[in-house]
Structure 1
């Protein structure tokens, strides 16, 4: 690995705020980001990414590469849960395995945000279509999770799966709706008028990201304790499977696009795991699945792994 790149990433101010959040939790500090502020910052980050991505997409247009990128992203969201499920079934029941598999087939918007910031720090551009790719990877993973739960249920589980509610939630949950809506608005907006909100959509982005990651550090540290009860199997899965996904896609993505930024985003999306949209849907699909397992895996292990080691590792592979 390029250790200069790793060092560069670890000295990124936004990532250092994440580490500060972890430290604050472990020393039991009373440091806290108010709940109302968290919600606003989350919406702002999704809005900013979506709007800027739509503006970029308006410039490049809907090309063959854009369509191929969307299809590739959705294919990843279907394939990753498939093999993840059967690995997890070695130790887990169908409900828990299905929920975790869907989470790892889906994506983390916060990891995506961190990757965009990482690219900006390296003076690299990402195509606007990658915002659409990220948003479109939520529901295929949920669909595959539902299919697996239906095809391979535990003998004890005969309850019907609530397809309609799960599919509706995957398409209308707040994060997906906000980023898709902002993408569309950015795409159709007049460029001369969009300049008027540039200071809000771009200039303050990294400051809000730093505060958001501070809070994420505190949340991740609190959730990580759940693994003391689960043994090493899930910890190894949360570490090794994302790295495997990211490394493989870092190599395969060269056949999809030549854009280095887009290739890194593909890699980080494949390596990330959802801890918002998919868990919410899994409450409907798999009510017996334990959220105390799959949420800490995604947020307490896989997210920190990706933003510290994953990003520079995948970038090194992409550069060859």
Structure 2
């Protein structure tokens, strides 16, 4: 209960709720798109640099390698589970189900950033290599979704060599992957001494920038719900609420098997429970052009993201403490 209250009453969640409420009430409040993209790049750079600095303090080990492998395995497995559930419990066709499933195998870096702050506020310590795990979990889910969609004739695009090359660039070189991995490497190379030089820009203002970005995310989520909810049947809406919990349970088992600390376990669980709304939609637009954004974006951004931010984070931190003993 203490974790839940501290999360719910944190400035970042309250700013998200402000944006969500403003959008649902049809307020004209908005944040310029270019400014919002700048905020997203800043957050990814900051979290990548911090993760790289933490990784520079310790040597790579088999334990870290196993955690990374667990993250990749989850990113391949979760879309299969999500796809099966969507096909069994909803009337979505194969293409829409595969497109939505891809979002639930990949990750939301903003949810991860918010979880990092919530974990720190709970007095737990997390390792820097979880940032690398986040970057690794961006891509496998998209590959799984394309296989599930049946690339031969179920609305899949990118059929020729040039289209496949464009899709590969979109998947492997999208902004979130490049910025995260690049910042992680820079932080790893420069270490704590390098971070001290840029701390006034990347450390001190971080939480304020996160509040601004979550205000914008609240506005986007609210507008997505207002515009897309009519295309979501009850079974699809419920999927957006229970799928994160299924993913969290599987990640908790992986964290327990790897003997992870409470802070690291909470972040791995959050990564698995989150749903992408930046990297995956861009790739899906290329690979599955017949899939409906009004379904997969409304699910990931309008339903699962608010659920994770408001309700999920305290549960995932509790689970992290539970599996760590």
TM-score tier, shorter chain, comes to over 0.9
The two structures have a TM-score, normalised by structure 1, of 0.94
Aligned to 1:18: 16
Structure 1 residues 30, 157: closer, same or farther in 2, change over 3 A? closer
8 A Cα contact 2:68 2:132, kept in partner: yes
Q: Does 1:311 align with 2:313?
A: yes
| Equivalences for residues 100-139 of structure 1 within 5 A | 100-139=100-139
Instruction: Classify the secondary structure of the residue corresponding to 2:260.
Output: coil
Query: SS state of the match for residue 273, structure 1?
Result: coil
Alignment: residue pair count: 317
CA contact (8 A) 1:85 1:98 kept: yes
Equivalent residue, structure 2, for 1:216: 217
Q: Check whether the contact 2:150–2:156 (CA below 8 A) recurs between aligned residues.
A: no
User: Structure 1 residues 150, 201: closer, same or farther in 2, change over 3 A?
Assistant: same
Cα displacement (A) at 1:163: 4.0
Aligned partners of 2:158 and 2:164 also within 8 Å: no
Q: CA RMSD in A?
A: 1.9
User: Could you say if the C-alpha distance between residues 198 and 28 of structure 1 is closer, same or farther in structure 2, counting changes exceeding 3 Å?
Assistant: same
Distance 1:146 1:87 in 2: 17
In structure 1, the partner of 2:182 is 181
For residues 252 and 177 of structure 1, the distance between their equivalents in structure 2, rounded to whole angstroms, comes to 27
Gaps of 5+ in 1: none
Distance (whole Å) between structure 1 residues aligned to residue 140 and residue 214 of structure 2: 27
Q: Indicate if the aligned counterparts of 2:74 and 2:105 stay in contact, CA closer than 8 A.
A: yes
Shift of 1:271: 0.7
2:248 alignment partner, SS class: helix
Question: Structure 1 segments of 4 or more deviating over 3 A?
Answer: 151-154, 156-164
Question: Aligned residue for 2:2?
Answer: 4
In the alignment, the residues of structure 1 paired with residue 295 and residue 231 of structure 2 have an alpha-carbon distance, to the nearest angstrom, of 10
| TM-score, normalization by structure 2 | 0.92
Deviations 1:280-312 (A, max 9, x none): 111111111001110110001001111111111
Contact 1:247 1:314 in 2 (8 A): no
Aligned CA distance change for structure 1 residues 219 and 255 (closer, same or farther; 3 Å): same
Gaps of 5+ in 2: none
